Amino acid sequence: MNYGIVVFPSKEIQDFANNHRKRYDPHYKLIPPHITIKKIESNDENQLDEIVTLLEDVTSSLSPFEITFNRVSNFFPLNNVIYLALEDTEPMTNLYEEMNKGMIKEEQPRYPFTPHLTIGQNLMEDELFDIFANLKSQNIQYRMKVDRIHLLYQLENEVWTAYQSFVLPKEK
């Protein structure tokens, strides 16, 4: 079974993302707009309790923080993906590093962690450049508070659903 740790953005950001995802993201119907912190591939459902315990432990010592999406970017030529990018990636990178422990530690990730919110993927190259040029000219400024993370699991029909949410309780 596949699991994932994500942050869901505010409704305003989800609305902006979905306006584009419904046309440019084949995963639009499988999962709401999100920032992936970790994807965990596991065939052992017995590990779920250990993952929950680890996330409860890690999140209990974390504080909520603010992030701002301020532009559109892409992963070309590695991937034909267009995404909302963060003004400052450090808070999300710190969250990723806190999650990258114990049984869910990723020793050698395929790509460096780049916090983002996908708005288009699996695009043809010319389509990617057209969409990117259009979105790049827009003034994007979305701010939100990250005060919880969500553990998701993937159903047999490939839809992702929430298993448990974890609040970042510690105020600075």
Question: Consecutive sets of 10 residues in the chain, 172 residues long: mean pLDDT of each?
Answer: 93 96 96 93 76 92 96 95 97 93 81 94 95 93 97 94 93 62
**Residue 55 included in any domain:** yes
Establish whether the linkage from the previous residue to 32 is cis, with ω within 30° of 0: no
What is the count of structural domains for the chain? Answer: 1
Q: What is the CATH number of the domain that holds 68?
A: 3.90.1140.10
pLDDT score recorded for residue 86: 98
**Residue 172 included in any domain:** no
Q: How far apart are CA 95 and CA 86, in angstroms?
A: 14
**Residue 85 included in any domain:** yes
Q: How far apart are CA 58 and CA 166, in angstroms?
A: 10
**Residue 130 included in any domain:** yes
Active site residue: 20, 27, 116, 150, which one? 116
pLDDT score recorded for residue 37: 95
What are the tokens at 129?
């450049």
**Residue 21 included in any domain:** yes
> Is 150 one of the catalytic residues?
no
Q: How far apart are CA 98 and CA 15, in angstroms?
A: 29
> Is 34 one of the catalytic residues?
yes
pLDDT score recorded for residue 172: 55
pLDDT score recorded for residue 84: 97
Active site residue: 20, 27, 34, 150, which one? 34
Prediction pTM value: 0.93
10 Å CB burial of residue 29 (0-12, 13-18, 19+) is exposed
**Residue 138 included in any domain:** yes
**Residue 36 included in any domain:** yes
pLDDT score recorded for residue 43: 58
Segments forming the whole domain that contains residue 8: 2-167
**Residue 57 included in any domain:** yes
